[in-house]
Copies of this chain bind each other. A is one copy, B any other.
Amino acid sequence: MGSSFGQLFRITTFGESHGGGIGVVIDGCPPRISLGESDIQGELERRRPGQSELVSPRQEPDRCEILSGVFEGQTLGTPIAILVRNQDARPEAYRELKETFRPSHADFTYEAKYGIRNWQGGGRASARETIGRVAGAAVARKVLATLFPAIELVTYVTHVHDVAAAVNSDSVRRSEVEANPVRCPDAAAAVRMKAAIEQARLEGDSLGGIIECVIRGAPAGLGEPVFDKLEADFAKAMLSLPATKGFEIGSGFAAAAMKGSEHNDPFAIREGKIRATSNRSGGVQGGISNGENIIFRVAFKPTATIARRQQTVTASGEETTLEARGRHDPCVLPRAVPMVEAMAALVLCDHGLRQRALSIS
């Protein structure tokens, strides 16, 4: 269970890192949205390994195939299945992992839960699983572009280890994010981040960081009271991504040290519209978007796979040590940017459709 996400725009993903392939079924996509494999392929390129010197050199072409739900370039309203074959599978590279639990990976917990696991490259717990999310989100983006054309998502790295970027969330553009392999729009910080990541690789180590996502142009009224608050669904979406340890919206954890008189966002009339004149709410009040920018941040831990020797145990219960030999990213942040953005798009699309269903005007 747990492989579906969304109420109306609902994706169901499948696939392990090794095996036939990875994919997604999207149920609830409106009909007559133009869609082709190139719409999806572009997003997949942003998440795949081998795209820059900063990430894992694995070469996975990750070509997607639309199996259903599209006819003559348009969605049919029926489920859209998308498949990406696994190709660069080298299970023998993982044979050591058959017997040894990698620290801070899911090897032990999958074994505890299921009594069986695909030990080849992480199986279902591999970040390769996110291909299904990114493909599904590529479709969500097309729906958003049709139904909510004003919505714009920009997602970027703000922190890598001890390097912090300065980014203006009101104006940052996607082209600035894509201008460097770190996906940090503060070019100077990006240089330092890149250096830090390369140093970590040399040391056989890895680095954590923070990603920020800003959504501009969302209408007021998205999100449902109580359990499906917009920020609750963003939080679930983000904490469902591999390697995430925290989520905050607007003022976030800093709110804990603030007073109400500092934190509240006053309302005023601006150009005839009701506007909040500050945005510590992060664009959401009472779980519902207020028309201001939605802004949240996600904390990522350092990659668990490191080349240094670590203490661990075998599946049969003996203490041992492990030195990772596989290909891995010393910092997941650059490749996690499209994953965060994908989950954000899925949440927005689902809530957009939900709001349409119950509007009576």
Contact = CB atoms under 8 A, between A and B. Distances in A.
Given A3-B79, A221-B112, A236-B233, A205 B259 contact: yes
Contacts of A247: 235, 239, 246-248
Could you say which of A27, A28, A68, A124 has the most chain B C-beta atoms within 10 Å of its C-beta?
Answer: A68
A240 interface: yes
A299 to B, nearest CB: 4
A232 interface: yes
Interface stretch (A42-50, A174-182, A260-268): A260-268
Interface string A28-41: 11111100000000
Question: How many chain copies does the complex carry?
Answer: 4
A115 B209 CA distance: 41
Interface stretch (A54-62, A165-173, A184-192, A300-308): A300-308
Interface string A226-265: 1111011111111110101111111111011111111111
A107 to B, nearest CB: 8
B3 A25 contact: yes
B285 A226 contact: no
Contact of A231 (B76, B239, B253): B239
Contact of A19 (B68, B318, B358): B68
Contacts of A266: 103, 310-312
Given A1-B7, A246-B249, A106 B240 contact: no
The A contact surface, by secondary structure, is mixed
A104 interface: yes
A290 interface: yes
A243 B129 CA distance: 33
Nearest to A312: B267
Contacts of A312: 266-268
A20 B68 contact: yes
Nearest to A219: B112
A104 B265 contact: yes
B239 A232 contact: yes
A264 B13 contact: no
A94 interface: no
Contacts of A123: 71, 76, 78
Contact of A1 (B104, B108, B282, B358): B358
B67 A15 contact: yes
A103 B290 CA distance: 11
Contact of A109 (B220, B237, B251, B272): B220
Given A71-B117, A256-B299, A260-B308, 17 more contacts: A4-B12, A12-B27, A16-B76, A29-B358, A31-B114, A31-B116, A31-B360, A71-B123, A74-B116, A77-B358, A109-B287, A113-B288, A125-B287, A234-B239, A245-B255, A255-B301, A256-B301
Closest 7 CB pairs of A and B: A106-B286, A2-B224, A2-B228, A246-B248, A357-B357, A206-B260, A236-B236
